[in-house]
């Protein structure tokens, strides 16, 4: 029962009407106590405003035929110009990403361990996010420098995310990232996957 009352009281129509009635009652009380005409003056103002709005829409405006035709023809032209302008406004994030050919360089091997990361182009200079280390034996992500699958411990390998980021940026600056990307574990896995899919297609065609 209480929840129903709260729902009723929170209804926008109930709140709006109740606020209006309450405000009118307060103004009427002020008029009675202070012998003023605030409420009646407000009602007269509202009535005059509504009458002015009604008379504005009730008036008939005559336009020459050529102006009506020109107005109708100008609408699609304006829409075309607007869409053209919007299409020519470059997406700053997309343009920065397109100008970065190294954006697909997202994995490499440093100190015998595979690392992966993502590039972010949401600021003036590209950022490197989500640097993760993977076990070179089974490509499982390391947790506290330990592989949960083969339980190999890599705590003896000294590295930090800051050091890995410096290496990534170094190879990007000197252009060596192109060769490293082609030889990266991820590229090799993609090549093997493509070969496997191609072999499966050939096998299906042969058996059909």
Please enumerate in sequence order all residues whose Cβ is within 8 A of that of 103, keeping only pairs 6 or more positions apart, or say none.
Answer: 97, 119, 121
List phi, psi (to 5°) of 114: -80, 135
Q: What is the pLDDT along the chain (208 residues), one digit of tens a residue?
A: 445 455 555 666 666 676 777 776 776 677 677 667 766 777 787 778 877 777 766 766 666 777 767 778 888 888 888 877 777 665 555 555 567 788 888 889 898 899 999 988 777 778 899 999 999 888 899 999 999 999 999 988 888 999 999 999 999 999 998 888 887 777 677 667 666 776 677 666 666 5
Q: Say if strands 113-120 and 127-134 run parallel, antiparallel, or are unpaired.
A: antiparallel
């Amino acid at each position: 029962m209480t929840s129903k009352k709260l729902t009723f009281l929170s209804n926008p129509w109930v709140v709006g009407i109740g606020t209006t009635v309450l405000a009118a009652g307060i103004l009427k009380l002020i008029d009675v106590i202070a012998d003023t005409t605030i409420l009646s003056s407000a009602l007269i103002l509202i009535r005059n405003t509504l009458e002015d709005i009604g008379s504005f829409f009730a008036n008939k405006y005559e336009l020459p035929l050529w102006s009506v035709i020109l107005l109708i023809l100008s609408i699609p032209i304006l829409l075309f110009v607007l869409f053209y302008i919007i299409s020519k406004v470059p997406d700053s994030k997309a343009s920065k990403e397109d100008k970065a050919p190294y954006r697909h360089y997202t994995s490499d091997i440093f100190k015998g361990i595979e690392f992966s990361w993502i590039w972010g182009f949401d600021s003036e200079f590209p950022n490197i996010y989500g640097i993760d280390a993977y076990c070179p034996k089974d490509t499982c992500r390391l947790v506290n420098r330990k592989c949960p699958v083969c339980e190999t411990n890599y705590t003896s390998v000294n590295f930090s995310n800051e050091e890995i980021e410096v290496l990534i940026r170094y190879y990007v600056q000197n252009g060596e990232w192109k060769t490293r990307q082609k030889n990266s574990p991820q590229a090799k896995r993609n090549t093997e996957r493509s070969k496997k899919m191609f072999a499966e297609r050939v096998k299906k065609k042969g058996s059909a």
